[in-house]
């Protein structure tokens, strides 16, 4: 069996920055309790590792003590204020691209623009960005774009991990319905890079394995893209989930979401060599 890795896969810059911040705290030997506000990343294996190292997860500022790390997704400004009011060490590992989206929304709102965010309503990043707007709506797909009512002037912005093609389609719909709407380019290039690398790899393989958390938005989108490429595709979280069916294929391609660490990718690749 031959194994081919996509040119771009695994940790993006923002996730790498956040995980390295927590790993550094662990290695520093700090005696204070270390916690992250919300799960650090959408990867069960990494979260299990951090839990074993004593890193906690909180979702209420009242539970904050010791050292608290803001994850790459960022947080709502009201939550940040409440955390800053407590006697804790607060480390901000918000992805720079998410910070940029927060800034754009805050500035637009201060100018009197209404804000429409495209993304998963329940995602931490979206909830955090929404907190910087005075008049905000959140939509998840083209169907909702066809129905939404908005007040101009307005800014359209997306979750950084949203699919570019769908965002472009939503932008086109809203530009037609509401001429003059301002559209922000907020999608992280890492998302597009992984999508393009997957498509480029697909023509060279017989089947594809997508590695990453089942609750990772960008990993799920990679999987959905792979399904459209007329190849056999599996979405797994670890080497323990490799299906026996892989032995029926000569060339296996591997891609991984932006919250999948290198060591997980390596374990999957190493285990595939046994088939």
Active-site positions? 125
Q: Nearest Cα to 258, choosing from 76, 36, 6?
A: 6
- For CA atoms 258, 263, 265, 266, give the dihedral sign: positive
The CA distances from residue 82 to 76, 77, 199, in Å, are 10, 9, 44
Cis amide leading into 130 (omega within 30): no
Q: Answer whether 139's CB lies under 8 Å from 118's CB.
A: yes
Residue 207 · residue 231 · CB < 8 Å: yes
For helices 13-28 and 44-52, the axis angle rounded to 10 degrees is: 10
For residue 122, what is the DSSP state? T
The Cα 256–Cα 239 span in angstroms is 13
* DSSP bridge pairs for 70: 37, 92
Show the tokens assigned to 3.
């194994």
Q: Dig out the tokens for 148 from the structure.
A: 């939404």
Q: Is 85 exposed, middle or buried (0-12, 13-18, 19+ CB in 10 A)?
A: exposed
Contact 221, 195 (CB under 8 A): yes
């Amino acid at each position: 069996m031959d194994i081919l890795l996509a040119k771009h896969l695994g940790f993006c810059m923002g996730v790498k920055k956040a995980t390295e911040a927590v790993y550094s705290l662990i290695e520093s030997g700090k005696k204070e309790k270390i916690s992250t506000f919300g799960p650090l990343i959408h990867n069960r294996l990494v979260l299990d590792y951090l839990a074993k190292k004593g890193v906690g997860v909180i979702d209420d500022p009242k539970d904050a003590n010791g050292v608290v790390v803001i994850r790459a997704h960022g947080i709502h400004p009201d939550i940040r204020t409440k955390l800053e009011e407590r006697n804790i060490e607060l480390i901000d590992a918000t992805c720079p691209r998410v910070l940029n989206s927060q800034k754009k929304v805050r500035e637009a709102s201060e100018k009197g623009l209404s804000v429409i965010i495209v993304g998963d309503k329940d995602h931490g990043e979206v909830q955090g960005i929404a907190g910087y707007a005075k008049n905000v709506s959140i939509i998840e797909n083209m169907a909702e774009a066809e129905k939404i009512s908005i007040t101009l002037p307005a800014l359209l912005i997306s979750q950084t991990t949203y699919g570019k093609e769908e965002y472009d389609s939503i932008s086109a719909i809203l530009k037609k319905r509401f001429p003059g709407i301002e559209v922000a380019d907020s999608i992280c290039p890492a998302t597009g890079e992984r999508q393009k690398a997957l498509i480029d790899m697909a023509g060279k393989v017989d089947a594809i394995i997508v590695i990453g958390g089942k609750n990772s938005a960008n990993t799920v989108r990679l999987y959905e893209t792979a399904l459209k490429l007329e190849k056999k595709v599996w979405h797994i979280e670890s080497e323990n989930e490799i299906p026996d069916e892989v032995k029926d294929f000569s060339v296996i391609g591997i891609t991984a979401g932006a919250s999948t660490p290198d060591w997980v990718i390596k374990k999957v690749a190493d285990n595939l060599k046994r088939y």
